[in-house]
Structure 1
Amino acid sequence: MYASILPKNQNENLGVCVLLKPKVTIGICVRNGASTISEAIESIIAQDYPHELMEVIFVDDGSEDETLSVINSYVQKMDMKVKVFHHEWKGLGASRNVVVNNAEGKYIIWVDGDMILPPNHVRVQVEFMEQNSKVGVAKAKYGIMAGGSMVEVLENAPFVILDSINGSLDSKLPGTGGAIYRVEAIRQAGGFDEKLKGTGEDQDAAFRIKNLGWLIKRSPAIFYERRSRTWRMIWKKWIWYGFGDYDLYCKNRSIFSLFKMNPLAGFVNGLLQVAPAYKLIRKKFVFLLPFHMSLEMTAWCLGFIKKQINR
């Protein structure tokens, strides 16, 4: 199913506004995100970047909850061009290609269904890309949301720490969440691999974009992400990550090292994160980070092994 809706100001003055081409496309690929996607959409509506230069493409990847209904309830409220796609579950690779193939903008900003953007996010991202013509992908920085639970803060802390020290993206390829892609670069790379249905489609795309000679950088933009609220949710999510990453590893073993993806490595990494996490967050529970990250890696390994067994 596909719907294309002209914003209200365009309906009122088609003779002028129809000539405006979006500079940036916001791509939202979501599945079963009814509980969080309202915040994501409202943060897009609140952007201070000119709305007539923005378009939003929603791709509902076979949601089994009310995600599509929530999206449709916002469409008429959005004073920017909106396209809505819906299909049976095909996976993230195929869903992202719907955005790539239909984007009218020069850039694509990827927004997950559990993300929240500060009002200047789109403007800062677009300005960064305009000033850096050789950059194919720019990753925004994770922010710390006020009022998060202990589990949410523990899950978010390593990402915030890495961004706070401006860690290099040369060895750690960025995901799509909070990233802006140059449309020319992702199309030149052939889009996303639709065989990567669960996870890893973003790292694979970034790897191919980089190999074409494009730069991958971190921009000064900030974004927030709703994290898992319970240990059970963490366990389930990281099993899914391991399950999906198996296909990525089989395709390209240079993207990540299995040596770093195990419970002991998670524990050691957590130990190294404790001091900067406490300095940044000032919460004593950050001393649980070694155990938290060991739990994540245990679940990841189980998912990875499960996929290997089920081949």
Structure 2
Amino acid sequence: MLKYSIIVAVYNRTGEVKELLESAEKLDFERELFEFLFVDDGSKDGFQSFIEKYDSPTGLQTRAIYQENKGPGEARNNGMQNAKGEYLIFVDSDCMFPPHWLRTIDNDLGKYSLDAFGGPDTCHDSFSPLLKAINYSMTSKLGTGGTRGQKKSVGKFYPRSFNMGIHRKIYENIGGMNKLRHGQDMDFSQRIYDAGYKVGLIFDAFVYHKRRTSLSKFYRQIFNWGVARINLSIAHPSMLKLVHLLPAMVVLGLIFLALFTIIFPYLGGFLWIITGFGYLLINLTAFFQALFMYKNLKAALLSPITLNIQVFAYGFGLLKALWQTKILGRKEAEGFVKGYYGKKQLESR
């Protein structure tokens, strides 16, 4: 048996897979110990032809399996069912690896005997200013509280499917990912915790993650994360914390302040001045933090924009999900519908 199966769900992402494999060729790890298993979720962009002709210059073991378009969760489950490794590692197709990635995972598994694990995501120096700005908002404490793979964070660490691994016994004992439209990987992580397995963060096993390539796609992704939080809380009430409600509280606070100002214009105007000062301070902090991080003026200028998109998109998504589930009585809230994984699939990553 191989030690590691790296499972990559793919849907019309051949260009990204090429970059992923280019970085994988530089991995500092014995080729006979791991494989790349691509699960093609019904791609129409020539992926099958590309991967079947791929000839690794360093001896990477690559193979692919194919399914009708069913979404990333079903693709990952299919990958787990067909993987040959003792450990099953998930990465997104828009990720790239530093050379030490798999070696670091292997070393820490030997030290800490983890059953499940995850690593952070970050940006590569070659990424565009927009991707760097998105990375800032996604990893800074202003944006997420450091919950995405920081050594110190405001919440519990949940491995996520862009960089997540499990021992095969977990899949054999609790099964794969469920059919939630949003937040499948978070639900999977919580089920792993509930089953009593040892879960840990491998901080130095980061991947370079491109994430969304436009502000509109970023908004829809984060909106759906707000929706996902409510769906997750229905299945696992402990997964909804005060920190997750803060963006929605910001949205509601501004709405109430606007209504208050109509009734009490002078006092409301004074409160807007205080709010505006705090808002300016937060955005200046984001600008200077990003400037210090990237030494790139355009990335720094974009970072307050992506930070605001993240906060408001998450807040609106969470509020919409609360309306659908608590007021309309739906069992599962829905976010943006978009032909991203297929005509009927919801964008969930």
TM-score scaled by length of structure 2: 0.70
Q: CA deviation at 1:166?
A: 1.4
- RMSD over aligned Cα, in angstroms? 3.2
CA deviations over 1:180-219 (Å, ceiling 9, x no partner) = 22222343232211x124x311111111111222232221
Partner of residue 124, structure 2: 145
Shift of the 263–85 alpha-carbon distance from structure 1 to 2, 3 Å rule, reads farther
CA deviations over 1:106-130 (Å, ceiling 9, x no partner) = 1122121100011221121122112
Cα distance between partner residues in 1 of 2:238 and 2:46: 39
Worse-superposed segment, 158-167 or 27-36: 158-167
Cα distance between partner residues in 1 of 2:71 and 2:302: 34
Q: Of Structure 1 and Structure 2, which has the larger fraction of its residues in strand?
A: 1
Query: 1:1-311, aligned counterparts within 5 Å?
Result: 21-74=1-54, 79-133=59-113, 135-161=114-140, 162=146, 166-168=151-153, 171-193=156-178, 195-197=179-181, 199-219=182-202, 220-242=204-226, 247-257=231-241, 258-262=244-248, 264=250, 276-284=289-297, 285-286=299-300, 289-303=303-317, 305=320, 308=324
Larger of the two Rg values belongs to structure: 2
Shift of the 272–98 alpha-carbon distance from structure 1 to 2, 3 Å rule, reads farther
Q: CA deviation at 1:283?
A: 4.2
Cα distance between partner residues in 1 of 2:230 and 2:59: 41
Worse-superposed segment, 150-159 or 300-309: 300-309
Q: CA deviation at 1:52?
A: 1.0
Cα distance between partner residues in 2 of 1:242 and 1:63: 28
Q: In 1, are the aligned partners of 2:97 and 2:208 still within 8 Å (CA)?
A: yes
Q: In 2, are the aligned partners of 1:117 and 1:224 still within 8 Å (CA)?
A: yes
Q: CA deviation at 1:276?
A: 4.7
TM-score scaled by length of structure 1: 0.78
Shift of the 49–263 alpha-carbon distance from structure 1 to 2, 3 Å rule, reads farther
Worse-superposed segment, 82-91 or 156-165: 156-165
Cα distance between partner residues in 1 of 2:183 and 2:110: 27
Q: CA deviation at 1:244?
A: 5.1
Aligned residue for 1:110, secondary structure, equals strand
Q: CA deviation at 1:301?
A: 4.8
Aligned residue for 2:80, secondary structure, equals helix
Worse-superposed segment, 144-153 or 295-304: 295-304
Cα distance between partner residues in 2 of 1:165 and 1:121: 17
Percent of paired sites with the same residue? 23
Shift of the 91–153 alpha-carbon distance from structure 1 to 2, 3 Å rule, reads same
Q: CA deviation at 1:68?
A: 3.2
Cα distance between partner residues in 1 of 2:156 and 2:110: 25
Cα distance between partner residues in 2 of 1:296 and 1:127: 35
Aligned residue for 1:68, secondary structure, equals helix
Alignment gaps of 5+ in structure 2: 141-145, 252-278, 335-349
Aligned residue for 2:207, secondary structure, equals strand
Alignment gaps of 5+ in structure 1: 1-20
Shift of the 87–247 alpha-carbon distance from structure 1 to 2, 3 Å rule, reads farther
CA deviations over 1:144-175 (Å, ceiling 9, x no partner) = 31132232111111444437851248524231
Shift of the 300–89 alpha-carbon distance from structure 1 to 2, 3 Å rule, reads farther
Aligned letter for 1:41? L
Q: In 2, are the aligned partners of 1:29 and 1:96 still within 8 Å (CA)?
A: yes
Cα distance between partner residues in 1 of 2:292 and 2:249: 25
Figure out how many residues of one structure are paired with residues of the other and give that number: 287
Cα distance between partner residues in 2 of 1:28 and 1:109: 9
